[in-house]
Amino acid sequence: MGQLLKPDDFVVGLDIGGTKFMAAVMNHKFKVMGRSRKRSKSRKNPSEKAEDRIIRIVEEAIREAGNPVIKGIGAGSPGPLDPATGIIIDTPNLGWKNFPLADILKEHFGVPVVVDNDVNVGTYGEWCFGQVSQCEDVVGIFPGTGIGGGIIINRKLLHGFSGAAGEVGHMTLEVDGPYCGCGKRGCLEALASRIAIAKEVAALAARGDAPYILEHCGTDLANMRSGEIAEAIRAGEKMVESVVRKAAFYTGIAVANLINILSPEAVVLGGGLVEAMTDLYLEEVNRAVKEHAMKFLRKGVKIVPAKLGDDAVVLGAAHMIAEKLSAT
């Protein structure tokens, strides 16, 4: 993969998250030479604009790498966004609406920029640098606070007509199921995200059925982090485990639907919940796929955990801009 860039070419991978920003400067072999990371909102200066803060961390990462000349910037951002123009359509967390992120970065740094949905970019990173780089068709699914997905078909990210394909978290799985943040009912996200799990686990704690959770997290959904939930299961809280297994099984049904529809060669499972409870997720997803995907479609499909962790987006984004540079 070193062929995309020439020796002495450097690119920036940028991960614009709802809670943190990260920039990494990489050399032509995608080795990280400098890195900067900050919360999305400054505590000292809460009125600082998100875009100014992003420019600052890119500059810091470049400085940390020893001030190389950079050739381009790739960025993953929460969507919906238009990857063709690099305009972010709407991200309430960052206060952006029809925000021309690509143009702003291009103008400030004077280099080509690509912007894509963060989950797409993360899937792409796992595909470029993870266990499934030989596969033509790959699906990524990332259960965490929300549930995002990325779809690679014929070795290309699927964007579709709107530019925003891959909203697997809003696949309806139970027609009259629980309400979702999107306003619909029965979405995968309403059934299986960290928030969906947290609400059940908090109720267990409130009823006295999850003493570990009650002691460590109280009954506030905001405190039910994936790591704490995993600890409660390790501490033997069987009802907490049942709640998570049910959510993981729903995630697996969504994977089965994607296998029935798309027939991918591999499925990558990532996100906070999977990172914290990898074996449990692999077990339940495989069980659901066996029950809900057609035999001739699931045969030989690799279901693997993501391996890049926090670096999936910066690596995927860096690879995307490198491809763009090498194509021109």
Residue by residue, DSSP assigns 223-249 as G--HHHHHHHHHTT-HHHHHHHHHHHH
Residue placing its CB nearer to a copy of itself in the complex, 111 or 164: 164
Cα within 13 Å of Cα(201), Cβ side = 38
Pairing type for strands 113-117 and 70-77 reads parallel
Interface region with a copy of itself, contact rule CB under 8 A, candidates 15-23, 28-36, 69-77, 290-298: 290-298
Residue placing its CB nearer to a copy of itself in the complex, 30 or 250: 250
Sign, Cα dihedral of 106, 109, 113, 118: negative
Q: Is 201 in the site for a copy of itself (CB under 8 A)?
A: no
Cα-to-chain-centroid distance, residue 244: 19
Q: Is 208 in the site for a copy of itself (CB under 8 A)?
A: no
Please answer whether residues 239 and 205 qualify as being in contact, where contact means their C-beta atoms are separated by less than 8 angstroms.
no
Q: Is 162 in the site for a copy of itself (CB under 8 A)?
A: yes
Query: Which residues touch 61 (CB under 8 Å, ≥6 apart)?
Result: 12, 23, 24, 25, 34, 35, 36
Q: List the beta bridge partners of residue 76.
A: 15, 116
Q: Is 150 in the site for a copy of itself (CB under 8 A)?
A: no
Please answer whether residues 74 and 105 qualify as being in contact, where contact means their C-beta atoms are separated by less than 8 angstroms.
no
Q: What is the C-alpha separation between 318 and 81, in angstroms, rounded?
A: 18
Residue by residue, DSSP assigns 106-145 as HHHH-S-EEEEEHHHHHHHHHHHHSTTTT-SSEEEEEESS
- Near a copy of itself by CB under 8 A: residue from 137, 200, 275, 284: 137
Burial of 223 (0-12, 13-18, 19+ CB in 10 A): middle
Please answer whether residues 37 and 43 qualify as being in contact, where contact means their C-beta atoms are separated by less than 8 angstroms.
no
Q: Is 48 in the site for a copy of itself (CB under 8 A)?
A: no
- Near a copy of itself by CB under 8 A: residue from 38, 56, 292, 307: 292
Q: Is 8 in the site for a copy of itself (CB under 8 A)?
A: no
- Near a copy of itself by CB under 8 A: residue from 170, 201, 224, 240: 170
Q: Is 197 in the site for a copy of itself (CB under 8 A)?
A: no
Interface region with a copy of itself, contact rule CB under 8 A, candidates 56-64, 234-242, 257-265, 312-320: 257-265
- Near a copy of itself by CB under 8 A: residue from 161, 208, 279, 328: 161
Q: Is 84 in the site for a copy of itself (CB under 8 A)?
A: no
Rounded to a whole number of angstroms, the minimum distance from the CB of residue 153 to a copy of itself is 6
Interface region with a copy of itself, contact rule CB under 8 A, candidates 23-31, 116-124, 233-241, 295-303: 295-303
Per-residue contact track with a copy of itself, 94 to 113, x per CB under 8 A? Answer: --------------------
Question: By rule CB under 8 A, what count of residues binds a copy of itself?
Answer: 49
Q: Is 132 in the site for a copy of itself (CB under 8 A)?
A: no
Please answer whether residues 123 and 130 qualify as being in contact, where contact means their C-beta atoms are separated by less than 8 angstroms.
no
Q: Is 166 in the site for a copy of itself (CB under 8 A)?
A: yes
Rounded to a whole number of angstroms, the minimum distance from the CB of residue 301 to a copy of itself is 7
Sign, Cα dihedral of 180, 182, 188, 189: negative
Q: Is 173 in the site for a copy of itself (CB under 8 A)?
A: yes
Q: Is 255 helix (H, G, I), strand (E, B) or coil?
A: helix
Interface region with a copy of itself, contact rule CB under 8 A, candidates 59-67, 117-125, 167-175, 206-214: 167-175
Q: What is the C-alpha separation between 147 and 192, in angstroms, rounded?
A: 8
Q: Is 127 in the site for a copy of itself (CB under 8 A)?
A: no
Which spans of this chain sit near a copy of itself (rule: CB under 8 A)?
80, 89-90, 135-137, 149, 151, 153-154, 156, 158-168, 170-175, 182, 184, 250, 253, 256-258, 260-265, 291-292, 294, 296-297, 299-301
